[in-house]
Amino acid sequence: MYDGDIASVLITEQQIKDKVAELAKQVDEDNQQGGDLLLVGVLKGAVMFMTDFARALPQPAQLEFMAVSSYGSSTSSSGVVRILKDLDRDIAGKNVVIVEDIIDSGLTLSWLLKNLASRNPASLEVCTLLRKPDAVQVDVPVRYVGFDIPNEFVVGYGLDYAERYRDLPYIGTLDPKVYTSGV
Ligand code: XMP
Ligand code: MG
């Protein structure tokens, strides 16, 4: 699949699986007060992580999705966010966990946290599979982090380049020829 497009495998399918189980266990342990968790997945990148995470979680969780678009280029976000698809239900009084694929500048997440906090959830936490180095510069509280990765563009396991590679079961870096040949 995608022969020759992937320069290197950064995180294998097994490493993802182990980490998802570990994160799910942590979230479960921190939420023993009763009441279903409500997971908010950010489309489309977080879909694979969200579905695996929900199945690894020992306790029931409701699944909600939001789609947002950040103004600016496709590779860097401006922090100005537009909601393309909002949640289907009220989150007031719920224990909400935002499930993210990757935090890069942290601007998207910072906006999302403010937006969801204004809806009065009982609690609001963030669980991200990946985090890039720049993210630490933004003051966003992220309780659960899967992997801290280098500042490289990555694809797979939900993450895309021009809508491709989301279906790879692992996370890898792209061969530069993919950017230069045009899709
Ligand atoms: P910020 O900078 O607001 O942006 O934290 C997070 C969003 O940027 C996208 N992004 C990536 N997508 N490979 C991708 O496929 C990457 O390496 C990458 N880095 C950032 C992604 O949409 C994420 O939600
Ligand atoms: Mg993308």
Residue 166: exposed, middle, or buried by beta-carbon count in 10 A (0-12, 13-18, 19+)? middle
Please identify which of the residues 104, 134, 139, 175 carries the catalytic annotation.
104
For residue 181, is pLDDT > 60?
Answer: yes
What confidence score (pLDDT) does residue 182 get? 57
Provide the pLDDT for residue 138: 77
CA of 127 to the centre of ligand 1 (A): 15
Q: For ligand 1, atom 19, name the residue with the nearest CA.
A: 104
Residue of 77, 105, 111, 138 to mutate, ligand 1, most atoms within 8 A of C-beta: 77
Listed in sequence order, the residues at least 6 apart from 139 whose beta carbon sits closer than 8 Å to its beta carbon are none
Which pLDDT score, from 0 to 100, does residue 64 have? Answer: 98
Residue 139: per-residue pLDDT: 78
Q: Of 10-19, 85-94, 103-112, which gets the smallest average pLDDT? A: 103-112
pLDDT at 77: 63
pLDDT digits (tens, 9 = 90+) for 54-78: 999 999 999 999 999 876 655 556 6
Q: Whose CA is nearest to atom 23 of ligand 1?
A: 102
Atom of ligand 1 nearest to the CA of 138: 5
Tell me, using a 6 A CB cutoff, whether residue 134 lines ligand 1.
no
pLDDT at 140 over 90: no
Best of 104, 136, 168 for a ligand 1 pocket test (most atoms within 8 Å of beta carbon)? 104
- Kindly give, in sequence order, each residue whose CB lies less than 8 Å from that of residue 62, ignoring residues fewer than 6 positions away: 36, 37, 38, 39, 94
- pLDDT at residue number 81: 87
- Residues of the chain with pLDDT > 70: what percent? 94
Q: Which own/partner pairs from 69-74 qualify as long-range (CB within 8 Å, at least 24 positions apart)? A: 70/107, 70/108
Lowest mean pLDDT among 35-39, 49-53, 57-61, 112-116: 35-39
**Is 104 among the residues known to form the active site?**
yes
pTM > 0.80: yes or no: yes
- Pick the residue whose CA is nearest to atom 14 on ligand 1: 159
Considering only residues 1 and 51, tell me which one the structure prediction assigns the higher pLDDT.
51
- Distances in whole angstroms, Cα of residue 127 to Cα of each of 40, 161, 176: 10, 23, 30
Between 74 and 102, name the one with better pLDDT. 102
CATH of domain 6-181: 3.40.50.2020
Check pocket membership of 106 for ligand 1, CB cut-off 6 A.
Answer: yes
| Strand ranges (E), the chain | 6-11, 37-43, 61-70, 81-85, 95-103, 123-131, 144-148, 154-155, 171-174
**Coil, strand or helix at 181:** helix
Greater model confidence, 175 or 73: 175
At 88 the pLDDT is 94
pLDDT of residue 57: 97
